[in-house]
Amino acid sequence: MAKGFILCADDFAMTEGVSRAILDLLARGRLTATGAMTNRPHWRRLALELAAFAGTADLGLHLNLTCAAPIATMSRLAPDGTLPGLKDVARAAAVSGVVRAEIAGEIARQLDAFEDAMGRPPDFVDGHQHVHVLPGVRRALLDLLARRYPAGSLYVRDPADRVAAIRARGVAVGKALVIAGLALGFRSAALKRELRVNSGFAGVAPFDPHRDFGADLARFLIAPGKVHLVMCHPGFIDAELAGLDPVTATRPIEHAALAAFEPPAGMPLRRFHELAG
């Protein structure tokens, strides 16, 4: 039986507007985690404000290999200085050892950027567009985390859940099943390296501004796992976001719904360590 759930906002530091929305929700106590894109130019400045919530929320790395520019040159994966789309990353990482080596270097740099700004390791690691579970990325990430941090000191996001639970929620079912398939084997690979992992995942959404996100949020709590993690994507729209990411119109809708959200009885907001023990 689930004792609550983690509510995690993705994409901190992507833009000023996204970050302000997340900081607002953290201040309201409506989130218990957020992952930061440490390759973005806003990161170091905004990290000072984010650090204030270290006592009430898990603060982690939102590994980014598909949006904007890497921290350092990646001549094979991003020859023009811009990271490619998810499909191109998956294809290149699957066939090229050089690309995999570049990815390993960028993962280390993004972890360094988190630690340099926050003065400590991240509480968790996940990935923008779930890039961290790609077959050509996961080994580099998990091996590095296992070498770099003490066993059990952080957790990684498994973006998969049971087929029955995904279908019972009835939100973006096809998309959630594809992500679950992509993540096949990720959990066991992480556990073998003594990394902690959530058990239960929801929040996969169609990003349709005509949907009732508050109702979807309630459905994300159907059939929860023991360490249930729900992702969300709040934000305020600005010109930078419109030119950077396809998910725009639904971000303020999610922010408004999350600001008004009251967890149901018996399913309080929790941090990872409160659920995993």
Domains delineated in the chain: 5-276 (3.20.20.370)
pLDDT, tens digit (0-9, with 9 covering 90-100), for 71-98: 999 999 999 999 999 999 999 999 999 9
pLDDT, tens digit (0-9, with 9 covering 90-100), for 19-65: 999 999 999 999 999 999 999 999 999 999 999 999 999 999 999 99
Quick check: 1 pLDDT over 80? no
Nearest-10 crossing angle of helices 97-118, 86-95 = 120
Average pLDDT, integer, range 140-154: 98
pLDDT at position 51 is: 98
Q: 7: pLDDT confidence band, cut at 50, 70 and 90? A: very high
Q: Which residues pair with 59 in a beta bridge?
A: 34
Average pLDDT, integer, range 258-274: 97
pLDDT, tens digit (0-9, with 9 covering 90-100), for 174-215: 999 999 999 999 999 999 999 999 999 999 999 999 999 999
Quick check: 144 pLDDT over 80? yes
pLDDT at position 2 is: 77
Residue 249 and residue 253: Cα distance in Å, rounded? 7
**Could you tell me the CA-to-CA distances from 104 to 6, 14, 48, 77, 78 in Å, in that order?**
28, 21, 27, 12, 14
| 155-156: strand order across its sheet | 196-197, 155-156, 124-127, 58-63, 33-36, 5-12, 228-232, 201-202
Residue 177 and residue 100: Cα distance in Å, rounded? 26
Q: 145: pLDDT confidence band, cut at 50, 70 and 90? A: very high
Q: Which residues pair with 231 in a beta bridge?
A: 8
Mean pLDDT, rounded, of the chain: 97
Q: Is 262 left (phi over 0), alpha (psi -120 to 50) or beta?
A: beta
pLDDT, tens digit (0-9, with 9 covering 90-100), for 205-260: 999 999 999 999 999 999 999 999 999 999 999 999 988 999 999 999 999 999 99
